[in-house]
Amino acid sequence: MKKSIIKFVSLFFALSLVFAVTIPAFATSEAETFYDEYTDEDVFQEYTDVNDIQGFTYEDEDIREFTETVTAEVYTSSVTASPDADASAKPGAKTNIAKKLIISLVIGLLIGLIVASVLKSSLKSVGRQAGASNYIEDGSFNLSGKEDVFLYKKEERTPIPKQEPPKK
């Protein structure tokens, strides 16, 4: 029973570790993938198509300038959502894979260590008893005195940092 609980807790811990790391990593990769796969040229082409279909008369230079502004804003806002991302440079696909690989290996080894430790602990069964709870006579517990006296209270206040309203 005790061993099953240890195994369950270890498995839960390992899964938590997987999710704790993969979800933020997913957020980072999503932002970066957007930039990697959805290039300026794609955005320019889309706006050009809309221009033609809707019958607008914007010049190509106007669309190009608008496209650059939009893609720069999207990349900045996406990447800043992830603390690990380097907003100053466009990360390459190889760097992303290497980063994911390293993260995977570190978590994998941690899980391996947990699994091996659980298996090793199953070899040990000798240990001293913590108490004598097996030998308490049924119905012998008698609580004759019970006092709960309030002494004092202490209050702490922490200011909540204010968020400045966005500039228009």
Q: Does 89 bind another protein (CB under 8 A)?
A: no
Contact 12, 4 (CB under 8 A): no
Beta carbon nearer to another protein, 21 or 87 = 21
Stretch that binds another protein, among 42-50, 56-64, 78-86, 142-150 (CB under 8 A): 142-150
CA 14 to chain centre: 14
Task: Quote the least distance from Cβ 42 to another protein, whole Å.
Answer: 18
**Which x/- pattern, by CB under 8 A, does the window 91-110 give for another protein?**
-----x---xx-xxx-xxxx
> Residue 10, interface with another protein (CB under 8 A)?
no
Using CB under 8 A as the binding rule, whether residue 126 contacts another protein is answered as yes
The single residue listed with the structure tokens 């809309």 is 50
Answer yes or no: are the C-beta atoms of 74 and 34 closer than 8 Å: yes
Question: How many Cα atoms within 13 Å fall on the side-chain side of residue 130?
Answer: 1
